[in-house]
Structure formats: structure tokens, C-alpha cells
Amino acid sequence: RELSSEDPMLKRDGFEDILEERRNSSDLKYALRCYAPVLYKGVTPCKANMLKNIVLQSDQLHYVINQVSQESGEAPDIIQEEASVILEEMAHRLQISTVRFFAFALSKAFKTLFQHVCVNEEGIQRLQQAIQEHPVVLLPSHRSYMDFLLMSYILYTYDLALPVIAAGMDFMGMKFVGEMLRMSGAFFIRRSFGGDKLYWAVFSEYVKTMLRNGFAPIEFFLEGTRSRTCKSLTPKLGLLNIVIEPFFKGEVFDVNLVPVSISYERILEESLYARELLGVPKPKESTSGLLKARRILSEDYGSIHVYFGQPVSVRSLAQGKVNRSKYNLFPRHIPRKPMEETQSFVNDTAYRIVRLQEDNMVLKPWVLMASLLLQNLEGLELSVLTEQTLWLRGLALSYAAFLDWPDHAPTAKVVSSSLALHRGLACVSGGRVSLVVGEPLGPVTPEEAVFNRAVSVLSCASYRNQVLHVFLRPAMLAVAMHTPQFNLHLSDEVYNCFSFLWDVFSNDFILCPGDTVQDFEEACYLLVKTGAVQMPQQDIEMTDRGQPILSFFNGLLEPFLQGYQVVCRYLCEEASEGLTEKQYIPAVRSFAVKLILAGNLRCYEVLSSDMQKNALAALLRMDAVRKVKVADHVTLIVNKMAVNSIDDILGKCRMISHINQTQISPSFSLIAVAEDLYRDGLTQSYIR
């Protein structure tokens, strides 16, 4: 396998299928083989009890213990015992025997579930070097429960030091499994600490002790939780602050942050995620639930691609941005709130890492097909879908998408094999492709019919969402160009509308703070590059060739424009004065269902709790809504004038995009676009 590219700056590594050897040799021998990973500067692995003693004896923890003792009036010895109990509950107990058991069991499971597990070996070599030089923090994307098992499996396969992994406390409650995870490197933390100063001190000192001494790479998910939508989530900064702090305080020379992109051809939890987004409670993690999930072993989940990115040096990133000398003014053991410039640096770093994760996500043909099917919910002729997928492939490649497309395979075969793998989501009937809606067991109410249709749409949307980062910026520009008040297409006016959309959607997508101008320029460059627009003087004009491209981009953002508008209208027209934050999502969902049943709304994605939460977060950030605590509830105070204004602009964006969103039909002009993209040398692809 190799990656070809006309642009050497865009070159990405090739992949190796690690299951190939597993299919041809003994899993038992693999699990019991000699395992001798190289460690950071040759340190001796630290036993779990020794690590806990180092933490409990640290100056920082003693300082906090004395502080809590003074505040609570309890003796320091009692607080010390509490800290010890917290640490006992939290700490990992890595044992090689448990690791070997998982190596054997996961080999069996992966060979059953997946066709290939592909890893970029050059990334593994870079990681091996990084582990020996400086403390390493592994930052994988998070789309499935499988992620942290997969990471440890890969590192064991390549004889690299196994990571210690931050895991939610809910996993600890799983009988037997929780302890096995602990013995394979997991340490358990609460989902939220509240104002528990002692818990935070124990947790942060535990992580920093492991990092400072380089006992093992530390692994956690920047997004904090699995993405149910398969879009990247806004990064959480707590753990990143902790692992970067030792560098700021001069306790380590550098820290290497390694972004890891994990791409699933078919997601194990796809229908579960859709139901969670529609308000069905998440099943509690349990051993019995795990055993019941064995039925997935009879399914085919395609391939996984795991891409280990270039290690990011915190020292290099911080150069000229953070004045570390300020940390010398205070004793290191006294906890301090991060300074403003430090917080800004950590926030910027988090966004950059998530963008790197996105850039190295491997996309399969199905994500392109899902994008087209969602713009044609009534279905598409198979021949039309095939030609449109070929067209969209050319567009994606011209925008530097990391696309896994079988080399020399006819497009029709690629499309049919994708439909076969995702037969639970789409089917072919009478030569026409449409989304599959689950068959009810008996009579259903109109509301239940809407729910079943929404499960199908949201499951499909989780695949379309995987390609959004490729098209997002030019798509926002496409919408901005067609908004009525900007008919002149003057670049300054179009930029103002682009900036509005950028601000509104910055909770839904990874848009790095302060990058509005840079993102606008990138969008202009990409649309000009593919011949969709031209920019004479200060104007931005659509070309004849650009109609299908801009039409597709308008359709891509239509669900988000419509979803946010439904939220605005609910808050202005239906919301009661005492609407609480807890009532908000069920109320918006009920409002949207009524609109769908009345025939006034066709967008099922509006029912997603993720979209509803992000829309509210945007309105809060834009001061159109405020939160006020009343007794035990948080009440939403709506500035109807501000919300109406936002609704009005979104409506204008939608009105014109709806007019321009014609069905992209197979035609000579579309095929010509694809052929021109290839001929112009704008493509880059991962060739199998």
C-alpha cells in the first residue's frame, strides 16, 4: 500500500494490515511472545505500589491535604487517609499476564469482526523514537468503545510501551471486566470533580508523577467522551492542562503530544448512537451487557485504519507564546490556576491536535455515498448514485481528503460492495437506492414512525459527518455567497456572512479560535482551485462549472441551518417563561416532531440532541440566551429580539440555498468536472 500525491507537503504514510500475520500464525504464540519495550531514557518500570507511594508523599499533595484540613477542621492524618482511598480507587495495576490475555482474546475478536486493521508503520517508528526522548501523551480520536483496547493491542503488537489510559468510573463497575481493564493499564476517574479539591489534587499529581518519570505513555481522549455523531467534539482542557504543566514548571524538558486518528469503515455502535441522540438512555456499562453484545461477532464491520501522527513538541509550540519564567516566582508544589496566556495556549493546542486528528482520518467510499443519499431522502437511481459518487470522489481528492478507494476497481463495484457492507442502512430495490427504515413489529403511532425514520437518517448522518471537515469551509462560503443581502458577491460582504456562520457553527465543528480570516481564505482558495468560483478584483463569482459544487455544499449545511432555525423558532414562539435547561431538549424535540407530522419540516436531523445542545451553546455564547439559577434549577432567559435576528439571517441563508439546491444529476458536465480534477493533477489518494 502506498500514498501518492502531487504535493509533497500533503504526503501521508502508507499502511500495514496487522491482522494479516494474525490470520497466518498462532494467536497463543503471539500473546506469549517475548515483550520487551524500550522505555523513556531507559527507566525501570515502576510497580503500582511504588507509584502510589510517590504520589502520596509528594509536596503538592501534602500542601493540599493541609489546606483541606484547615478548611474542614479535620486532622491531616484523616485527610491523608481519604487521599489514599481515592488513589486506591483510581490507580492502575498493570500486569503483563492480563495484557497477554487481552492480546489473545482481541486477536480472535478482531479477526472475526474486521477485514483489516491497518496501521501506518512510519508513525509507529516515530512514536518509538519519541518515547525514548521525552514523555509521550497519546491523544486518539474517540468514536467507539473499541478505541482504547485497539490502541493497547497495536502498541503490544509493535513491542512499544503500553499506555496508562484515563477511563470513566462507569467502567470500574463492570464485574471482573473493570478489574481486568485496570490490570491492562486503565486508571479510573470521575466524570466530574465538582469542587472536590482533594480529588483533583490526587488525580493531577498521579498523572504528573507518571509523566515526569516517563514510566509509560499517558493516553486520554481530548474530546472527553465518544462522539455519537462521528464529528469531532470540542476538546476538553482539564487533562491537557495537567500533562503540559510539568513543562511550564521546568520539571521536564519537553512533552510529545501524539495525535492518533482511528477510522472505522463501519461503527459497532451506529444504531445505538442514533437512539441515544433521540433520547433513548445510554445502556449502563455492565459485564452482562458485554456478553449480550456477542451477537455483533456475526457481523462484518469492514476495515479500521489507525494513523499515528507526527509527535507535536510542546516546547516548540510554546516558543514565543508562553513566558515560562513566571512559574519561577512561586514554589512548584503550590497549585495555581493557569495564567490567561497559558490557558489560551492550551486551548489553541487542543484545537490544533483535533484538527490533526481530522486531517488524518481515512475516509471510505460509503461516507461520500451517505452524503449524497442524505440530500436525496426519496432515494436515487443506482446508476445516478454511482456517477455522483465518482464525481464527489474527485472533489474530495482535490480538497486533500485522505480517501481509501480500491485502485483499478470499477466505480460500480466499489458502490455495490459499500452497499453490501452497509445493508442495514441502505438497500437497492428496483434499481433505486434508499435508506432502510426498521420494520415495526406491530402497529405504530405517527410519532413512532418519525422516530424510526430518524434512527435511519441519524445513523447515515454519522458517516456523512466524517467527511464534513474536508468540505466545511468551502461549504460555509457557498452558503454565504448565496445569501440575498450579499447578492453583489463583494468579498467583504461575503466574508461578513461567512464570519456569522463560522461563529454560529463553532460548537458543531472544529473551528480554531481566531482563525476566521484564515478559514475564509482557505475556502476561497479551494473553490477557485476546483473552478467553482472566480475572483475578479474584489468580487467572488460562481462559474458555470461551479453550479453542481456549490449546490452540493449548500445541501451539506442545510440540516444544520434548518436545525438551528427550529431551535430559534421554538425559543421565540413556544418556550414558556420558566423553561429550564433540563426541559429544553425534550421540548425542542417535541416541537420538531409536530412540525414533521404537520408536513412543515423534512429534516430529521433536527431531532438530534447533539444539534440541539450545540445550537443552545451558540445562542448562549452570542448572548441571545442566558442561564439563571433559580432554586435547584437552571432557567433559560431568552432575548427574543436577538434570537429572532439570528433566525432571520439563518432563514435567508436557507431560503436561497433551498432555491439553488437542485438535484445533481449525472451529466457530461459533472463527469467533465471529475475528469478535469484528475487531469489537473489536483488529486491525492490512498491507493490499495
Residue 286 pLDDT level (bands cut at 50, 70, 90): low
pLDDT of 257 above 90 = yes
Q: Is the pLDDT score of 183 beyond 80?
A: yes
Q: Contact at 8 Å (CB) between 295 and 301?
A: no
Hey, how many other C-beta atoms are within 10 angstroms of the C-beta on 612? Answer: 24
CA 49 from chain centre, in angstroms, equals 35
Residue recorded with cell 453583489: 488
Least confident of 76-90, 104-118, 652-666: 652-666
The reported pLDDT for the residue numbered 283 is 67
pTM of the model: 0.91
Q: How does pLDDT run across 380-420, given as a tens digit for each residue? A: 999 999 999 999 999 999 999 999 999 889 999 999 999 99
For residue 473, pLDDT beyond 50: yes
What pLDDT shows up at residue 655? 57
Amino acid at 7: D
Nearest to 366 by CA among 429, 423, 300: 423
**Maximum CA extent, the chain:** 82
Residue 606 lies in a domain: no
Please state the rounded mean pLDDT for residues 331-341: 82
Residue 166 located in a structural domain? yes
Classify burial at 270, counting beta carbons within 10 Å of its beta carbon; exposed 0-12, middle 13-18, buried 19 or more: buried
> Would the pLDDT of 671 be above 60?
no
User: Tell me: the pLDDT tens digits for 58-100?
Assistant: 999 999 999 999 999 999 999 999 999 999 999 999 899 999 9
- Quick one: pLDDT at residue 111? 95
Does 596 reside within a domain?
no
Please report whether residue 46 resides in a domain: no
Q: What is the structure's pLDDT at 292? A: 53
Least Cα distance to 511 among 326, 451, 520 occurs for: 520
User: Average of pLDDT values for 92-113?
Assistant: 94
Between 118 and 481, name the one with better pLDDT: 118
Count of helices and strands (H, E) across the chain: 28, 19
Q: What is the pLDDT of residue 7?
A: 41
160: pLDDT strictly greater than 70 = yes
> 19 pLDDT band (50/70/90 cuts)?
very high
Q: Distance between CA 124 and CA 38 in Å, rounded?
A: 13
The pLDDT value given to residue 489: 58
Range of the domain at 356: 92-266+301-360
Does residue 617 belong to any structural domain of this protein? no
Q: pLDDT at position 642, please?
A: 96
In contact, 185 and 165? CB cutoff 8 Å: yes
Output 669 or 288, whichever has higher pLDDT: 288
- Total domains in the chain come to 1
What is the predicted pLDDT for the residue at 428?
96
The SS3 call for residue 541 is strand
- pLDDT of 5: 37
pLDDT at 686: 34
Partnered with residue 137 across adjacent β-strands are 218, 257
What distance in Å separates the CA atoms of residue 628 and residue 636, rounded to the nearest whole number? Answer: 6
Strand partners, 5: 684
- pLDDT-based confidence at 657, cuts 50/70/90? very low
Cell of 495: 466574508
SS (H, E, C) 231-277: CCCCCCCHHHHHHHHHHHCCCCCCCEEEEEEEEECCCCCHHHHHHHH
Q: Alpha-carbon distance 500 to 481, whole Å? A: 13
Domain of residue 156, CATH code: 3.40.1130.10
Higher pLDDT, 360 or 173: 360
Q: Greater confidence, 22 or 537?
A: 22
Q: Is the pLDDT of residue 176 over 90?
A: no
Residue 538: pLDDT band by 50, 70, 90 thresholds? confident
Residue 206 pLDDT greater than 50, yes or no: yes
Q: Is residue 643 within a helix (H) or strand (E), and if so which, with residue range?
A: helix 640-660
CA distances from 638 to 103, 122, 566 (A): 54, 53, 15
Give the pLDDT mean for 247-260.
95
* Half-sphere exposure (Cβ direction) of 626: Cα atoms closer than 13 Å: 8
Question: So what's the pLDDT on residue 390?
Answer: 96
Coil, strand, or helix at residue 430? Answer: coil
The answer to whether residue 340 sits within a structural domain is yes
- Kindly report, residue by residue over 428-460, the tens digit of the pLDDT: 999 999 999 877 767 889 999 999 999 999 999
Mean pLDDT of 298-321: 95
Residue 289: band (very low, low, confident or very high) from pLDDT cuts 50, 70, 90: low
Domain membership of residue 349 (yes or no) is yes
pLDDT of 193 reads 76
Question: Minimum mean pLDDT among 61-70, 165-174, 604-613: which range?
Answer: 165-174
- With 60 as the cut, is the pLDDT of residue 674 above it? no
Name the band, by pLDDT with cuts 50, 70 and 90, for residue 687: very low
Neighbours of 573 (CB within 10 A): 11
CB burial class (10 A; 0-12, 13-18, 19+) of residue 491?
Answer: middle
**Contact, 433 vs 426, CB < 8 A?**
yes
Q: Is the pLDDT of residue 301 over 50?
A: yes
Question: In this structure, what are the phi and psi dihedrals at residue 218, rounded to the nearest 5 degrees?
Answer: -100, 135
Q: Which of 126-135, 163-172, 202-211, 580-589 has the lowest mean pLDDT?
A: 163-172
In 3D space, the residue among 451, 462, 442 whose CA is nearest the CA of residue 596 turns out to be: 451
Per-residue pLDDT of 480-509, as tens digits, reads: 988 755 444 567 889 999 999 999 999 999
Average pLDDT across the chain, whole number: 88
Using alpha carbons, select from 189, 166, 200, 213 the residue that is nearest to residue 51. Answer: 213
Q: Give the pLDDT score at 77.
A: 94
Measured on CA atoms in the order 257, 260, 261, 267, is the torsion positive or negative? Answer: negative
Per residue in 546-584, pLDDT (tens digit) is 999 999 999 999 999 999 999 999 999 998 888 999 999
Mean pLDDT check: name the lowest of 253-262, 297-306, 467-476. 297-306
Report whether pLDDT(606) > 90. Answer: yes
Write out the three cell numbers for 623.
Answer: 448572548
Model pLDDT, residue 335: 81
Is residue 47, in this structure, part of any structural domain at all? no
Confidence of residue 28 (pLDDT cuts 50, 70, 90): very high
Show Cβ contacts of residue 23 under 8 Å, excluding neighbours closer than 6 positions: 111
Please tell me the least confidently modeled range out of 111-115, 287-291, 292-296, 676-680.
Answer: 676-680
Q: What is the pLDDT of residue 366?
A: 98
What is the CB neighbour count within 10 angstroms for residue 227? Answer: 19
* Owner of C-alpha cell 431522502: 377
